[in-house]
Amino acid sequence: MPASAGRVDTNLTCSRYVVPVVDTQRLVAFVLASIAIILAPGPSVMFVIARAVAWGRTTAFLTAVGNACGMLVLATFVALGLGPLLQRSQLLLEVVQIGGGLYLVYLGIDALRHRRAHVDAMVEVEETKPSLLRILREGFMVGVLNPKAIVFFTAVFPQFVDPKAGSVTVQLLLFGLIFSLLSIVLDGTWGIVVGSSRDWFVNSDRRLLVLRTIGGVVMLVLGILVIIPVLYEMVVRH
């Protein structure tokens, strides 16, 4: 079997960067991990759900679009700033990966400890429905001004980088674009589902608590699964 099997050959020169050879297995793993992270009821999902509970599915979906656009801006900054550094240092890449796993564990524990406060904040809504522009603007600002998202992208994206495949910066940009598109689809789906059955969610805090608890557990497990293989590779190599 040729050495290039399982890879999509896209060696195209673009100014100072070269579009990397994308490892199909690595890309599929990133997509699956992104789906798990996005579907887990974390801060982004809960924000969309809060809008769905308050104003219905259209408002929730547009909020998801604005939020994803904001996160794409953040992901771009992370790629341009972090990519060149990770390209030069394998040790730094491993440190970032371990730190990222620990951050996911922290997010999981925080979500579990404060799930009641998060749910209480969701049901506090304004009396007047916001305009279309305001919905998109608020969604965008929540995404782009979220300091946790910067750390989150720094933590998760490097787990799937292959320094041997080409430009790390371009790989991170690609991951950012994929993650943002998936966010629109999946967060938007959350909004549509909850918005279509808003009375069922509003009438029971327990259901919202269950969602927040599931999100915390998923983050905790993902963090542990990220740390173990990195530590194993470091031990084997040394």
pTM (2 d.p.): 0.66
Closest CA to 168 of 93, 63, 73: 93
pLDDT tens digits, residue range 169-190? 888 898 999 999 999 999 899 8
Whole-angstrom distance, CA of residue 236 vs CA of residue 238: 6
pLDDT reading at 49 higher than 80: no
pLDDT reading at 14 higher than 50: no
Contacts 24+ apart (CB under 8 A), 82-85: 82/154, 82/158, 82/172, 83/167, 83/168, 83/169, 83/170, 83/171, 83/172, 83/173, 84/168, 84/169
Q: Name, in order, each residue with C-beta under 8 angstroms of 75's C-beta and a sequence gap of 6 or more.
A: 153, 157, 172, 173, 175, 176, 177, 179, 180
Contact (Cβ atoms closer than 8 angstroms) between residue 222 and residue 155:
no
Of 180 and 111, more confident: 180
Listing DSSP states for 24-83 in one string gives: HHHHHHHHHHHHHHHHS--HHHHHHHHHHHHH-HHHHHHHHHHHHHHHHHHHHHHHHHHH
Is residue 12 left, alpha or beta, with left meaning phi > 0 and alpha meaning psi from -120 to 50? beta
pLDDT-above-70 percentage for the chain = 75
pLDDT reading at 35 higher than 80: yes
Q: What is the mean pLDDT of residues 105-113?
A: 79
Which helix (H) or strand (E) segment holds residue 18: the answer is strand 17-18
Domain positions in the chain are 24-237
Please state, in angstroms and as integers, the Cα–Cα distance from residue 1 to each residue in 10, 114, 230, following that order. Answer: 19, 52, 29
